[in-house]
Structure 1
Amino acid sequence: METAQADLLLRRIGARRPARPTAGALRELHLRHLVEVPFENLSVHLGEEIVLEEGRLWEKVAGARRGGFCYELNGLFGALLRSLGYEVELLAARTYGDGGRLGIPYDHMALRVRTEDGGDLLADIGFGAHSHHPLDLGERGDQHEPGGVFRVTGAGPAPGGRAPAGGSAGPGDLDVLRDGTPVYRLEATPRALSDFVTGAWWHSTSPRSRFVTSPVCSRLTEDGGRVTLRGRRLVVTAADGHREERDLATDQEVLTVYRERFGIVLDRVPDVSGV
């Protein structure tokens, strides 16, 4: 990523260029990205092609001021971090579903980031409601942060001593848990952005994909809460857990929420026929 592109992306997330690639600077970049850039799958419901190429991702997120899902957001964030001097590896993950079943290969993308002050951190700004800050990949105890209590463990049996349905662990694989519940299984092998094309295609087209059934747009708020528009239902959750929901009656209301709550300007409402 060129310096000018990085500077525009930093401006997009409301962050300054860090003086050095430290853990503290990464923490701030991670949080600012979650607040300013929404997790969204609107391209799936607008008939837009999802292209996992750095230039196209930059055009979408920095140029068009849109969001994206994991492959897009983490893919571009990884490129930004490299341009700022961080060592970054793309990691594939498989999310845990009902009954402890693992998702498809390349189900999710996260980032392993090495800072100049040492240690490997897990950065993930593409999972929706998750950790607000990077997690320490070397820490095996509880990691308390505003998004919950997280734990990174060596990949092993699911709760109850059973192997997770749909796959087994490879050498060095890790499980990421939130509040005691497995969230995803992280593979140790570094990947290229192009490796995730099949996963992005599946999530964009398969009737079994949750991204196909409904448009969703969600971001962290400045006070640590969350605002989410799923189809026509607006959900605003405060940092203390207080939750308000309402259904939007008209297309104009939907477009206004996208613009005012997420900074996304659309000329039509994404198809909500699957909602």
Structure 2
Amino acid sequence: MNNLNDLFRARIGYSDQGALTFERLPEVLALTAVTVPFENLCIMDNNINPVTEEYVVDKILVNREGGLCYEINTLLYLFLLRNGLDVVMTRSVVYDHEIGAYYTHGRTHISILLKHEGQLYIIDSGFGGNHPLVPVPLTGETVASANGEFRIRRAEHAIGNYVFEMKLKHKDEDWRTGYTFDSERAITDLVDSNEIQRIVVEHPLSKFNKTPVITRLTPEGSVTLTQNSLTRWTNGQLSKEQIEEEQFEELRKVYFGK
């Protein structure tokens, strides 16, 4: 068996080798957010592999790459499970703000449900830089981290019984819907991770099979690189510059290291 626990801690620079407690999760989530980028580069390179524990460990921890939700959150789930936390995964339907409706091509986002002292929380490190850096309770309570405020409200419709909402620092004046999920549809194996990968790779409505994108949080804000632009948020100030496609690889190494 691979040493996922030690490799994960080393990858994100988490030096504490003691037992991982609920109270230490914000530190782990913050380190993961600035260390592991959200990106689709393997899809754009047509380098698709089954989502297994060995695959996500090699890709993200050994080769020090990033990934999409079904890779990052699957790895985080395995890490939390390895540390004795009470976790399962759940599939969500993302809200498309361009059309003002939920995606119609399926439950394409994966996040983590954690149970602690009888209370359920969402853990998410794979939502394209929009993820909370703290566990978010399913009570409707607003929680805050360095990048904004987050809450989960009860909802009753066909595709989910809860809605994850966010108000990102310097970006949102009002609450925005992130995704809806069904808290009663638990996932404990990686079959669904592979199904999500298939949809993301193959579906014509997928936003991650068309052009490259890579993003991560930074201590000052965030950085996002596409084939046409470099966008940086630094202490609330937005900087966006157009780039030529041939600059992509050079800028990727500068801002993301690989």
| Equivalent-residue separation in structure 1 for 2:120 and 2:21 (angstroms) | 11
Q: Corresponding residue for 2:165? A: 177
Task: Provide the TM-score with structure 2 as the length reference.
Answer: 0.88
Instruction: Answer yes or no: is 1:201 the counterpart of 2:202.
Output: no
Q: Corresponding residue for 2:231? A: 235
Residues 239, 51 of structure 1: CA spacing in aligned structure 2 closer, same or farther, 3 A cutoff?
Answer: farther
Deviation readout 1:160-213 (Å, 9 max, x if unpaired): xxx6xxxx145xx21111232221001111113212322211111222111122
| Equivalent-residue separation in structure 1 for 2:235 and 2:120 (angstroms) | 28
Residues 67, 127 of structure 1: CA spacing in aligned structure 2 closer, same or farther, 3 A cutoff?
Answer: same
| Equivalent-residue separation in structure 2 for 1:109 and 1:5 (angstroms) | 20
Q: Is the 8 A contact 2:94 2:107 kept in 1?
A: no
Q: Is the 8 A contact 2:66 2:72 kept in 1?
A: yes
Q: Could you tell me the percent identity over the aligned residues?
A: 24
* AA aligned opposite 1:232: N
Q: Corresponding residue for 2:111? A: 110
Q: Corresponding residue for 1:215? A: 212
Q: Is the 8 A contact 2:132 2:150 kept in 1?
A: no
Q: Is the 8 A contact 1:131 1:148 kept in 2?
A: no
Q: Of Structure 1 and Structure 2, which has the larger fraction of its residues in strand?
A: 2
The offset of 1:34, in angstroms, is 0.6
| Unaligned 5+ runs, structure 2 | 168-174
Residues 216, 118 of structure 1: CA spacing in aligned structure 2 closer, same or farther, 3 A cutoff?
Answer: same
The offset of 1:232, in angstroms, is 3.1
Q: Is the 8 A contact 1:43 1:49 kept in 2?
A: yes
Q: Is the 8 A contact 1:44 1:204 kept in 2?
A: yes
Deviation readout 1:90-148 (Å, 9 max, x if unpaired): 11111112222344333100001234x66332111000122331333233133233333
Q: Is the 8 A contact 1:119 1:136 kept in 2?
A: no
How many positions carry a matched residue from both structures? 247
The offset of 1:220, in angstroms, is 0.4
Q: Corresponding residue for 1:26? A: 25
Q: Corresponding residue for 1:259? A: 253
Q: Corresponding residue for 2:48? A: 49
* AA aligned opposite 1:256: E
Residues 151, 113 of structure 1: CA spacing in aligned structure 2 closer, same or farther, 3 A cutoff?
Answer: same
* AA aligned opposite 2:52: E
| Equivalent-residue separation in structure 2 for 1:30 and 1:182 (angstroms) | 21
| Equivalent-residue separation in structure 1 for 2:154 and 2:90 (angstroms) | 15
The offset of 1:5, in angstroms, is 2.9
| Equivalent-residue separation in structure 2 for 1:182 and 1:123 (angstroms) | 16
